[in-house]
Amino acid sequence: MRVLLAGATGAIGRPLIRGLKQQGHSVFGLVRSAESTRILNEIGAEAVIGDALDAPSLRAAIARVRPDAVINELTSLPRHYTAAEMKAAAERDSKVRREGNVHLLAGMRESGVRRYVVQSSGFWYAPGPGLADESSSLAVDASPGVAAGSRIYVDLESTAFRTSEIDCVAMRYGFFYGPGTWYTNAGDMGEQVRRQQVPIIGAGQGVASFVHIEDAASVTVTALECAPGPYNIVDDNPSQQRVWLRAFARACGAPEPIQITEQEALATSGADSVYYATRLRGASNEKARHELNFRPRPLEWLQS
């Protein structure tokens, strides 16, 4: 299968390219620069020049490649995972995701490409009892940053699913961890916990769903041939902040995280940090296990 990958140089891009190549697919990565072209060529993908924010260039790229499928992993996230940098990057990230999604879909329809796989969220479900399945609503009425991010994913999915002649698969990933992500010993979050900059907030009862970047990439390859629809791509055992954060700190050789009240967190780091720590709802991967044969590795920090 000929696969065009948008967001080929992001965290999931490299393992996804490797996985696609291992399954015999021809991979074309959408890039904007000569430097990105070199990177893709080194890992076995053919670079195609195109800008997610430029509809004509995307239409031309799709027409040139004539792919059987398009995978959309477009983001514009900051290098460092801090409240300030996330806020500063939010407007461009939203623009890249939303406009890139629309432009890719338009180019696909024009070139007769039917299969579309798009990145979505399995970590921003609205609060509720138990683990959320794919019929649950995203947290569009949450704290400001979480609500804005949730609305982006709702928009991406609704736009894709209502586009005629397109078979869409929405990969609702958990928080990525592993090589090239924020959540590693050597990554941004590892450094922050060593500096005790990530506290347990309140009771730390918010439930987070993670997924190893390699597992996310592997199952995304499978999504090229599955039934259309949304799939939660998360680990088997979502865990509360007070559990995973302490385990992550131990794995990073960090001191025990400090614990602060919700009021203190609101004053120092804002409403989003409180939401993450106290209101997140974990997701169930039962559908992906059954329909995609998804078998994620256990969250590695809880195994150490």
* Span 146-205, pLDDT tens digits: 999 999 999 999 999 999 999 999 999 999 999 999 999 998 999 999 999 999 999 999
pLDDT band with cut points at 50, 70 and 90 for residue 80:
low
Residue 266 lies in a domain: no
Structure confidence at residue 212 (pLDDT):
97
Strands 259-260 and 167-173 come out as unpaired
- CATH number of the CATH domain containing 223: 3.40.50.720
Q: What is the average pLDDT across 124-132? A: 96
Residue 151 lies in a domain: yes
Residue 5 pLDDT > 90: yes
Structure confidence at residue 195 (pLDDT):
95
Residue 38 pLDDT > 90: no
Residue 241 lies in a domain: no
Residue 303 pLDDT > 80: no
Q: What is the average pLDDT across 260-288? A: 97
Structure confidence at residue 76 (pLDDT):
77
Q: What is the average pLDDT across 92-118? A: 95
pLDDT tens per residue across span 12-31? 999 999 999 999 999 999 98
How many angstroms separate the CA atoms of 282 and 139, rounded? 12
**pTM, rounded to two decimals:** 0.95
Q: What is the average pLDDT across 210-236? A: 97
Structure confidence at residue 207 (pLDDT):
98
How many angstroms separate the CA atoms of 40 and 46, rounded? 7
Structure confidence at residue 44 (pLDDT):
85
Residue 269 lies in a domain: no
pLDDT band with cut points at 50, 70 and 90 for residue 81:
low
Sequence-ordered list of residues with C-beta below 8 angstroms from that of 263, at least 6 positions apart, any chain: none
Dihedrals phi, psi of 139, to nearest 5 degrees? -85, 65
Residue 188 lies in a domain: no
Q: What is the average pLDDT across 19-44? A: 88
What residue numbers bound the domain in which 219 lies? 2-176+211-234+283-296
Q: Which residues of 22-54 are buried (b: 16+ CB within 10 A; e: fewer)?
A: eeebbbbbbbbeeebbebbeebebebbebbbee
Q: What is the average pLDDT across 123-149? A: 96
How many angstroms separate the CA atoms of 206 and 110, rounded? 44
Q: How many domains are contained in the chain?
A: 1
Residue 79 pLDDT > 80: no
How many angstroms separate the CA atoms of 250 and 261, rounded? 22
